[in-house]
Amino acid sequence: MGLFDGKKGLVVGVANDHSIAWAIAEYVMAEGALCGFTHLPDRPDDKRQRNRRRVALLTDKAENARFLVPLDVSDDDQIAEVVKTTQQEFGTIDFLVHSVAFAPLEDLKVDTIQTSRAGFKLAMEISAYSLIALANAFQPVLNDGGSIVAMTYFGGEKAVPGYNVMGICKAALDSTVKYLAYDLGPRQIRVNAVSAGPLRTLAGRGAGVDDMLTLYEKMAPMGRNITHEEVGRAAGFLLSDMASGITGEILHVDAGYNIMGSPGRLVEQYRQ
């Protein structure tokens, strides 16, 4: 018996095999879940359909992957189409994974104070409002007692130089998780987020993940970085019935980095 036997869900945010969303999907599918997937729409002039192809390379080999459709989370019509497809394939679902974030590189690479108005709006829409849009659209399809999990980062709680405008977006996402948890609580639908430490992902490259990996290894109580598999299992726990009494929470999977109030063992190398 798998933890997710008889469960069905939608995973939004897989870009390639390094995506956190894929780590989550691998775990829940291994535990028996049937999953639908979305991918970033390809440009009309992209005859190779690179975005779809990268995700299809994964889902085509996964026995429990049932469909793959394009989704731009800033387009309500596309969201409605994904809801329709999900309903046709599954009827209803038990869980929804939101692993979506974006900021224009020209805004992410400058100090927060220099963020453009247009870049701020776009980053907020994709990275935070999209959780509201998806949760609302999927209300008729998401079973009572279901679960929604989003992906966040510590940069939404404390200032992390280099994370810049995305940190503001994650702060908004963290708050959104709590308000959605309240709104959906009467139906026993839980909304939580996993705050993962730095991982080498497509999005992580734009946020200076290599420097973060070095810092976390030196500062975290466990003296190491985390793995994709650890995040996948933690998110799977929150999606499962084992977390039936947990909602509105931000679960840190960062080897303990978030608890530190000083550089910890990192300071030892500066001692004379």
How are strands ordered across the β-sheet holding 8-12? 65-70, 34-39, 8-12, 93-98, 142-152, 190-196, 250-253
Is residue 163 annotated as part of the catalytic site, yes or no?
A: yes
Choice among 27, 163, 216, 257 that is catalytic:
163
Distance of CA 155 to the CA centre of its chain: 14
Choice among 153, 179, 216, 257 that is catalytic:
153
User: CA-CA distance, 86 to 192, in Å (whole number)?
Assistant: 22
User: CA-CA distance, 262 to 187, in Å (whole number)?
Assistant: 42
Take residue 135 and report the two structure tokens written for it.
């949760």
Residue with tokens 């907020």: 124
Sign of the C-alpha dihedral computed for residues 185, 146, 247 and 152 taken in this order: negative
Take residue 203 and report the two structure tokens written for it.
């999005």
User: CA-CA distance, 209 to 67, in Å (whole number)?
Assistant: 31
Is residue 153 annotated as part of the catalytic site, yes or no?
A: yes
Residues annotated catalytic, as ranges: 153, 163
